[in-house]
Chains A and B, each alone.
Chain A
Amino acid sequence: DQQVKQNSPSLSVQEGRISILNCDYTNSMFDYFLWYKKYPAEGPTFLISISSIKDKNEDGRFTVFLNKSAKHLSLHIVPSQPGDSAVYFCAALRPLTSGTYKYIFGTGTRLKVLA
């Protein structure tokens, strides 16, 4: 069940440049998407989200873009900083018949920002 895919397991970027992390999904029922950041030995931390009715959401250095027709979202970090080095997971929310939601996570992309 790979409804949410992150095809790049790792990415290296120079400090100050843009980091672009990509995520593809297959289920058009997803109505909310999130990005989480995870440092070693810590739990995932929520970063930014986007509703399926939008195509862009920005929060400081972080911008998430959603292309519904391509079933693709991306996270842009600019400028990238060494402290951004972490594993980034995209997640999609699927509504359930119970009225609750189910998170489905991608496999993660390890970002390394080089000083």
Chain B
Amino acid sequence: EPEVTQTPSHQVTQMGQEVILRCVPISNHLYFYWYRQILGQKVEFLVSFYNNEISEKSEIFDDQFSVERPDGSNFTLKIRSTKLEDSAMYFCASTYTSNQPQHFGDGTRLSIL
């Protein structure tokens, strides 16, 4: 069964550095999402992306965050200047249509020191 893959599985970064989290959605999917889960808290929506543009973003997704689909397969989340509170699991998800169940990757654990 096709999967959403995320790399790296764990990223350790110094505060203030830029970090790029990478995702390869399922190949025929058209809608792409990023979520985060701070330890012990709920899964929070960050952003959705469709037709090469952001379709929805949450209050968390401020100017430090950006997303890109640089080619036909990758979907990336960039955090420009990381803060300690950015430490979390970041999940990528994709769907073919927006109201279908989302398929999630296994996440990238981001640790900011």
Contact = CB atoms under 8 A, between A and B. Distances in A.
Interface of A: 32, 34, 36, 41-46, 49, 89, 93, 96, 98-108
B106 A102 contact: no
B42 A102 contact: no
17 contacts: A43-B4, A43-B6, A43-B105, A46-B101, A89-B43, A96-B55, A98-B55, A100-B50, A101-B98, A102-B48, A105-B35, A105-B43, A105-B44, A105-B45, A107-B42, A108-B42, A108-B43
Contacts of A105: 35, 42-45
Contact of B102 (A46, A96, A106): A46
B84 to A, nearest CB: 22
The binding surface of chain A is classed by DSSP as: strand
Contacts, number: 56
B103 A46 contact: yes
A84 B106 CA distance: 18
B41 interface: yes
A43 B56 contact: no
A43 B91 contact: yes
Contacts of A49: 101
B104 A44 contact: yes
The binding surface of chain B is classed by DSSP as: strand
Interface residues of B, number: 25
Contacts of B56: 96, 98, 100, 102
B23 to A, nearest CB: 11
Interface of B: 4, 6, 31, 33, 35, 41-45, 48, 50, 55-56, 91, 93, 98-99, 101-107
Contact of B48 (A43, A46, A100): A100
A99 B99 CA distance: 10
Contacts of A96: 55-56
A54 B48 CA distance: 27
Nearest to A99: B98
Given A96-B56, A102-B48, A102-B56, A43 B107 contact: yes
Nearest to B105: A43
